[in-house]
Amino acid sequence: MILSVDLLEYGVFSFVEDEADYDESNNSLTGYFIHPPDIKLLKQTDEIKIKKKLSFGIKYFIKCDNSDLIESFISRIRHPEMKNPNTKIVALEIIEHNNLDINSTGFDFFVFENDWEMLQGKWEFTLEQGDKVLLRKSFNLTK
């Protein structure tokens, strides 16, 4: 069981695209999730100026009770209404089911790859297990 989550870093990040895996997912409007081995903080801020290829998000440490070697949880990114113009699918959030080694560091982020993703307003990252919100971090995005 997850006991607590510590927010380590938040803001603008970078990652090496050549080292990332692109995993198909119906939970993403692009049809995939990007999974790099790590991300590097470039600027700690919750005020994000949107531009193409910009990555922003959170890095965190999950403390567990050691009852299992891997913990399951949900990562959720809430954002203004987003519509993929190719599929016509509309969403207000992205949900990813995650598994992480106990007592380890994880991260969640978003990359602006398409013009239709570049939405101003409040974006919120949460980590959840069952009905419990373990971590919540909001960002204000502007153009």
Question: pLDDT by residue for the chain (143 residues), tens digit each?
Answer: 888 999 999 999 998 878 899 888 888 889 898 989 899 999 999 999 999 999 999 999 988 887 667 788 999 999 999 999 999 999 999 999 988 877 789 999 999 999 999 999 999 999 999 999 999 999 999 99
Q: Residue ranges of the domains in the chain?
A: 2-142
pTM value is: 0.92
- Per-residue DSSP letter, 130: T
pLDDT of residue 68: 66
Q: State the Cα–Cα distance between residues 50 and 82, nearest whole angstrom.
A: 15
pLDDT of residue 67: 66
Cβ 111 vs Cβ 29: under 8 Å = no
- Per-residue DSSP letter, 20: -
pLDDT of residue 19: 87
Q: State the Cα–Cα distance between residues 34 and 38, nearest whole angstrom.
A: 11
Cα 121 to the center of its chain, rounded Å: 16
Q: State the Cα–Cα distance between residues 65 and 69, nearest whole angstrom.
A: 10
pLDDT of residue 17: 78
Instruction: Please identify, in words, the CATH class of the domain defined by 2-142.
Output: mainly beta
